[in-house]
Each structure stands twice: as C-alpha cells, then as structure tokens.
C-alpha cells in the first residue's frame, strides 16, 4: 500500500509524512507532490493510490486535482486536509465526490490523534470521516435552513463572474425574467433585499454587487471557487459560436 501526499507547504508535508508512517505501519511507501499538477501525474502512475491532499494550493487547486483524479479512478480514496471549512470548499468537494466513494475532510487544526484516526478509518476500514465542523457546514448548506439551492448558488457564481442577466439566461437556458427572479430570491436569502419602507440606507447599495460582497464575506465564495468558475466560463464561451 502506498500513500500520496499532495500539499504545497513543506512543513505540513513532512508532518503528514510522519503521521502517515506512524498511523499506517502497513504502508510501504509515501510519495509527495507539492502541487495539484504533480499530484495528478503521480496518481495516474500509481496503480491505486490513497491520497491525502490540501485544498488551496497555488499551482492547481486541490478540488480541480481531485476532480480529475476521481474522474480517472473513482475508487481512489482521498483525505482532504485543509485549514478552512469555508462553505465554498465544502460545497466544492461534495459536488465532485463520486457516488459510494470513500473520502474524508479533516481540518488542520484537528489534533494529532484525530488525523491518525481518520487515516486509519479511511484507508483501512473504508469509512468516511468528516470533521464535525465541516459536517455542520454541509448540513447548513444542503438543508434548506439558511441554505442555498443549487440554482441560487449557480446564479450567485454567475453574477460574481460579472455576467449580465442576458448572458446568464443564455448560459443557463432561461428567460431573462427567470434569471431576475432567481436574483431576487438570492438577494432575500443573503439579507441584501431592501424593503421599500426603510428610508434609512435607501439606495446605498447596488444589490448585485452587494450580494457578491456578502457572499465573499460569509465565505460562500472564495478565490478558488471563483477561479474554477472562471475556467468553466471561458470553456463555455469558447464553445459558444457567437451570439
């Protein structure tokens, strides 16, 4: 059994290496990659790898790497080991995990023991391990309580990218008016909507831009989510003949 580490911070890499050797004595080889690209390559070469990776790497974001790895080999087991439990990350991960796949998500702030336990659970006992905090985020995200529909999240991304209503309608196969409906819905859920009564900060905010701002502040969006979205967008634009 071999384990592949994908992590760009050297300190964290060597810490992980040690933890893996300690927690998994049956493991007979630990490989390291310092970014998503190298990680994908190594994962492709290895027959069936067990992977521990960071999200948020400079070269190629962890979620992208995981997506292509899982696309080629859906049975690969991946433990995400991240600093944050931003909704953007959690949503990004649960969007790409294949059905029935074994994976984990533990925070770097977790204790030594928790990490080792997660390693054993996932790689030996084939059991998913999701940190409490991350799990909470998932629930809040997927349950409709204070949670965002896939449609709402989608349109949030579209305006964050700077698309016009018309472009969004075209991209999502909707009428312009429907796009605007979803926008209104989004504004309400983000607490950005301005009831006409309050003369207080009337007209201070541009709803569209404000929605993006609070989404960022609430970590519903983050840099890597935006990068992924931008990549998707330009792929779509290239596929688009002309208007």
Partner DNA sequence: ATCTTTTCTGCGGGATCCCGCAGGGTCTCG
Partner DNA sequence: CGAGACCCTGCGGGATCCCGCAGAAAAGAT
151 binds, among DNA, a second copy, none (CB under 5 to 8 A by kind): DNA
All residues at 6 or more sequence positions from 196 whose CB lies less than 8 Å from its CB, including other chains: none
**173 or 199, CB closer to a second copy?**
199
14 binds DNA (CB under 7 A): no
How many other C-beta atoms can be found within 10 angstroms of the C-beta atom of residue 84? 17
The full 3-state SS of 74-97, as one line of letters, equals CCCEEEEEECCCCHHHHHHHHHHC
**47 or 204, CB closer to a second copy?**
204
Rule CB under 8 A: which of 174-193 touch a second copy? Answer: 192
242 binds, among a second copy, DNA, none (CB under 5 to 8 A by kind): a second copy
**122 or 167, CB closer to a second copy?**
167
Spatial strand order of the sheet with 77-82 comes to: 30-33, 3-6, 50-53, 77-82, 103-107, 129-130
26 binds a second copy (CB under 8 A): no
47 binds a second copy (CB under 8 A): no
CB-based contacts of 160-167 (< 8 A; 24+ apart in sequence): 160/212, 160/215, 160/221, 160/226, 160/229, 161/226, 161/229, 161/230, 161/233, 163/233
Q: What backbone phi and psi angles, to 5 degrees, belong to 219?
A: 60, 25
191 binds DNA (CB under 7 A): no
Residue 1 CB, shortest distance to a second copy, in Å, is 26
203 binds DNA (CB under 7 A): yes
Residues found near a second copy in the complex (CB under 8 A): 9, 11-12, 15, 83, 108, 159-164, 166-167, 192, 199-214, 216-217, 219, 222-223, 226-227, 230, 237, 242-243
């Amino acid at each position: 059994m071999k384990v592949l580490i994908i992590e760009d911070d050297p300190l964290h890499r060597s810490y992980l290496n040690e933890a893996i050797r300690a927690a998994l004595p049956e493991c007979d080889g630990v490989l390291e990659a310092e970014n998503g690209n190298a990680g994908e390559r190594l994962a492709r070469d290895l027959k069936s790898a067990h992977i521990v990776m960071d999200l948020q790497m400079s070269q190629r974001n962890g979620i992208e790497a995981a997506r292509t790895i899982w696309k080629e080999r859906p049975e690969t087991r991946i433990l995400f080991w991240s600093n944050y439990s931003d909704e953007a990350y959690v949503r990004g991960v649960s969007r790409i995990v294949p059905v029935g796949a074994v994976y984990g998500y533990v925070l770097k702030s977790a204790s030594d023991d928790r990490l080792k336990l997660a390693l054993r659970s996932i790689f030996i006992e084939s059991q998913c391990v999701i940190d409490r905090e991350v799990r909470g985020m998932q629930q809040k995200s997927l349950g409709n309580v204070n949670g965002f529909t896939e449609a709402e999240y989608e349109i949030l991304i579209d305006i964050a990218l700077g698309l016009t209503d018309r472009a969004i309608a075209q991209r999502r196969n909707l009428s312009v008016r429907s796009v605007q409906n979803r926008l209104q819905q989004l504004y309400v859920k983000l607490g950005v909507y301005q009831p006409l009564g309050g003369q207080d900060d009337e007209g201070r905010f541009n709803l569209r831009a404000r929605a993006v701002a609070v989404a960022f502040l609430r970590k519903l969006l983050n840099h890597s989510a935006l990068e992924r979205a931008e990549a998707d967008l330009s792929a779509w634009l290239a596929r688009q003949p002309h208007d």
